[in-house]
């Protein structure tokens, strides 16, 4: 995903040493063509796995997730952060700590849309410490369904997310890996090695 890596390098704004702001193409304004390519890439990686549902959490995961769902021709389901009055009963729920907002949200999905025959690809915009993906996996477990993999747009490899997900037995595929945000600089995994 060279186009994604280029965008992350050129448009990403480093906040502190741990947060990358990508409001120009992913988290506020959305680059639809790039999202389409992201969906296509996840499709190529998981197309033989019998995926029946794409699962994400609102709001930032929805753009890449819906493009993947379009490509797989399966529904895109997103966990909601507030229980609407229209959702009377029959839902799965779990608490997820937000790394960027430093608060815990209860997220829910209706039982109607996830069941034991589902093979789920979880998609999210970022992987930091893995709380969001682990929380979504708990919802899958509550439904008796199976998480086939976790597709991440931007992985911050200097945080614990991949380790925690892999320890939980989950397969992680990320399209862009950030090695460091130190010195106000986005350094990608593997960057510069070709010149070493
Ligand atoms: P985790 O749950 O893996 O610790 O963090 C992932 C979640 O937090 C994602 O859903 C994403 O919305 C948010 N997040 C974590 N790190 C970043 C970051 O550096 N930039 C942005 N924009 N969101 C992040």
pLDDT in tens, the chain (196 residues): 999 999 999 999 999 989 999 999 999 999 999 999 999 999 999 999 999 999 999 999 999 999 999 999 999 999 999 777 776 779 999 999 998 999 999 999 999 999 999 999 999 999 999 999 999 999 999 999 999 999 999 999 999 999 999 999 999 999 999 999 999 999 999 986 655 5
122 lines ligand 1 (CB under 6 A): no
Coil, strand or helix at 185: coil
- 120 close to ligand 1 (CB < 6 Angstrom): no
Q: Measured between alpha carbons, how far is 132 from 126 in angstroms, rounded to an integer? A: 9
Does the global pTM surpass 0.75? yes
CA of 131 to the centre of ligand 1 (A): 9
Q: How far apart are CA 54 and CA 126, in angstroms?
A: 16
Summarize the annotated binding site for 5-phospho-alpha-D-ribose 1-diphosphate as residue ranges. Answer: 128-132
From the CA of 130, give the closest atom in ligand 1: 3
Q: Hunting for tokens 């093979």 — which residue is that?
A: 119
What sign has the CA pseudo-torsion 66, 72, 73, 76? negative
The answer to whether the CB of 66 falls within 8 A of the CB of 125 is: no
Q: Distance, CA 100 to ligand 1 centroid (Å)?
A: 6
Substitution site in 56, 125, 138 for ligand 1 pocket (most atoms within 8 Å of beta carbon): 125
Q: Which residues pair with 123 in a beta bridge?
A: 151
- Does 29 contact ligand 1 (Cβ within 6 A)? no
Residue 99 Cβ contacting ligand 1 at under 6 Å: yes
Task: Report the residue among 79, 96, 99, 136 best suited for mutation to probe ligand 1: largest number of ligand atoms under 8 A from its CB.
Answer: 99
Helix (H) or strand (E) holding 9: helix 2-11
Distance CA 109, CA 56 (A): 10
Tokens for 6, please give them. Answer: 């280029």
């Amino acid at each position: 995903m060279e186009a994604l890596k280029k965008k992350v390098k050129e448009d990403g704004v480093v906040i502190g040493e741990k947060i990358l702001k990508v409001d120009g193409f992913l988290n506020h304004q959305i680059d639809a063509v790039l999202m389409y390519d992201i969906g296509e890439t996840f499709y190529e990686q998981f197309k033989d796995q019998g995926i029946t549902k794409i699962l994400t959490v609102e709001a930032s995961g929805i753009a890449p997730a819906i493009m993947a769902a379009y490509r797989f021709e399966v529904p895109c389901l997103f966990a909601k952060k507030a229980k609407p009055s229209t959702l009377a009963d029959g839902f799965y729920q779990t608490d997820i700590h937000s790394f960027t907002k430093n608060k815990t949200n209860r997220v829910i999905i209706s039982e109607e849309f996830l069941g034991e025959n589902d093979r789920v690809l979880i998609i999210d915009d970022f992987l930091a410490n893995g709380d969001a993906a682990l929380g979504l996996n708990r919802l899958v477990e509550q439904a008796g369904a199976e998480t086939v993999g976790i597709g991440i747009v931007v992985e911050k490899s200097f945080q614990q997310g991949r380790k925690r997900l892999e320890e939980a037995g989950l397969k992680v595929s990320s399209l862009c890996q950030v090695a460091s945000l130190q010195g106000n600089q986005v350094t990608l995994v593997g960057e510069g090695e070709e010149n070493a």
